[in-house]
Chain A
Amino acid sequence: MKLHELIKENFQKENTYSVSEKMRVDEAFGIFDKLGIPSTKNEEWKYTNLKNIAEKEFKIESSLKNISDFYSKLSIQNITSNRLVFVNGIYSETLSNIIEKDKTILIDNIFSARKNHTEIYNNHFSKYAKIEGLALNAMNAALLNDGAFVFVPKGKVVEHPILIINITDSVESNILSQPRNLIVVEKSANVKLIEAYYSTGKNASFTNVVSEIYADENACVEHYKIQQQVGECYQNNFTQFFQEANTTINQVTLTLDGTVVRNNLHFYMNGENCNTLLYGLYLATENNHIDNHTRVDHAKPNCYSNELYKGILKDKSTAVFNGKIMVHLDAQKTNAYQRNQNILLSDEATINTKPQLEIFADDVKCSHGATVGQLEEEPMFYLRSRGIPENEARKMLLNAFADAIAEEIKIPELVSILEQEINNKL
């Protein structure tokens, strides 16, 4: 059964929704059913081909797999953190662990929140991530698995990061999982989040995840995404930040592996004086394909956004960068900057990079730029002329290239993981 049929069949089986929710879910399914899996004819999917995914037979998991052995070997565990762990989209209570002592701070799975924190859930769930015209978002909304739920009340600071780990286990069959995260950060509250993706098993997996992050006035969110799925792993990752006035978001996306990874990272500034920093580093090797679509909506005046994405491509890998900055009509005094820099380590690697500025206000400062190049010869020769072998010199220079991103990561364990991956792969 192809993916579209699988969704259709399972959708008709599902029946756990309340009446009001049912309407929303039906609508989502309707949109998905009409649009189908996007093809490369769709401008937004021009360089990322999902045919492989559309035609593969996936299974939707119904019971929790025991993967404690695999889990215990993940180095990300060294981070002192609150953990929510999901296996093939299903919440694992045994692997999850909440160390936060303040019980007004809610760190839970979303199915539990729907039951136990219904008001917050109803106020925010599915309010920010669009589904109109977005087939994969609609598919997620129609048939979601579990996911993370975080609620930080007004003025509270979550002491340790919240680590949201998604693992696909395709040992027995191809797996489709559709995690769904909802993060609500109230006024002047403060939180650090890490989304991490891993995989085990020889079969294929498709992770179609949607996250909504709401930041109320003066809130501060540090958000990291680290993608390290190895094997035949596909991922579509949609994240919508919704920012009220005076919020600060520091977002870093590290895409270190994956057969096909498509990130859609959206910010909507719904108030003045927002600060949005978005950094990305992608390492593409072998035949991997990594696509980063970002979009920053400057909807209100006096906001600042700064984007830096860096890519290292090896072998026959391909990557896409598409960065859209939308400056709305009344978003005067907008400052928006964007850069995309790439190093190609092989003649067979390809990058498609496209900055897109759409500016409807007149008093703004915007800039963008993209570079694609090879590792420079002069620094290479300089290092070698001091006795550092070619291999080692290359690693040093690639780490140096990644350094501008590593500097923005305030969790040292994540920096070590990044350095390790660079040293192992390149």
Chain B
Amino acid sequence: MLSIKNLQAEIEGKKILNGINLEVKPGEVHAIMGPNGAGKSTLSSVLAGREDYTVTGGEVIFNGKNLLDLSPEDRAREGVFLAFQYPVEIPGVSTTNFLKTAINEKRKYHGLEPMEATDFLKMMRAKMEFVEMDKSLTSRSLNEGFSGGEKKRNEIFQMAMLEPKLGILDETDSGLDIDALRLVSNGVNKLRNKENAFIVITHYQRLLDYIVPDFVHVLYKGRIVKSGDKELAKELEVKGYDWIKQEVEAAQ
């Protein structure tokens, strides 16, 4: 589904990604861990098409298409979804209108008619329950005045609405209390199926108790320096990142 080969990217002349390789197949969940500043958000931003970053090398193939050639909106319409680490507040744009536009734009791209208003509302209601999101939140402006936890839940709600093939969660767990963490994880687990895949970026092992990954990768200084299964996450939990850093330094 997703094949990242030797991906390199920089911002303002500063190299952040130094050759990332990653293969994701349908049905898989990959966790990416790593210390602050490792480049985790950069990787997710480059995949989603944030224009601040310059890709200086490598390629990303997503379901046979060269992802890096597509605009952010086309990537979304091809099925990429990024749950932002810091979702932005957009006063004056209603959540409902925003989602209706997003869904219908995606449908248009795939040659489908716009969704019937009643079907859309039914879907909204169902998916809201799914992440136990309060109805009042969708009647407000997009993320405006939402708490940190509400914003993260809104990201998962949007993901549920847009039904992506590849969901990228950038530290969706950070700042969440245990109840919110459970809700968010349940939401993701209910979305998991044989056709879709997830990249779960996290700083802590905690989230991976709920969303159990098939693979765990450690990102450090813009490279994946270690890969393993969920046991690797537990090891990191116990030992911290220092031993990884030392290993990398020793290898150099």
Contacts and interface: CB of A to CB of B under 8 A. Distances in A.
Q: Lowest 10 CB-CB distances: which A-B pairs, in order?
A: A400-B92, A403-B92, A387-B76, A384-B72, A386-B102, A387-B106, A387-B77, A384-B73, A400-B93, A378-B88
Contact of A389 (B49, B52, B73, B97): B73
B82 interface: yes
Contact of B93 (A381, A389, A396): A396
Given A381-B51, A382-B87, A387 B92 contact: no
Given A378-B88, A381-B50, A388 B102 contact: yes
Interface residues of A, number: 23
A20 interface: no
Interface in B100-156: 101-103, 105-106, 109, 141
Most A CB atoms within 10 A — which of B51, B92, B97? B92
Interface in A363-384: 377-379, 381-384
Interface in A51-103: none
B36 interface: no
Nearest to B52: A377
A386 B162 contact: yes
Contacts of A379: 88, 90, 93
Nearest to B72: A384
20 contacts: A383-B98, A384-B49, A384-B71, A384-B73, A385-B48, A385-B72, A385-B75, A385-B76, A385-B84, A386-B99, A387-B105, A387-B162, A388-B73, A388-B98, A388-B102, A388-B105, A390-B71, A397-B93, A400-B90, A402-B92
Contacts, number: 78
| Interface size range of chain B in the complex | 20 to 34
Interface of A: 377-379, 381-390, 392-393, 396-397, 399-404
Contacts of B97: 396
Given A387-B73, A388-B73, A403 B102 contact: no
B175 interface: no
A385 B50 CA distance: 9
B158 interface: yes
Given A379-B90, A400-B90, A403-B91, A386 B50 contact: no
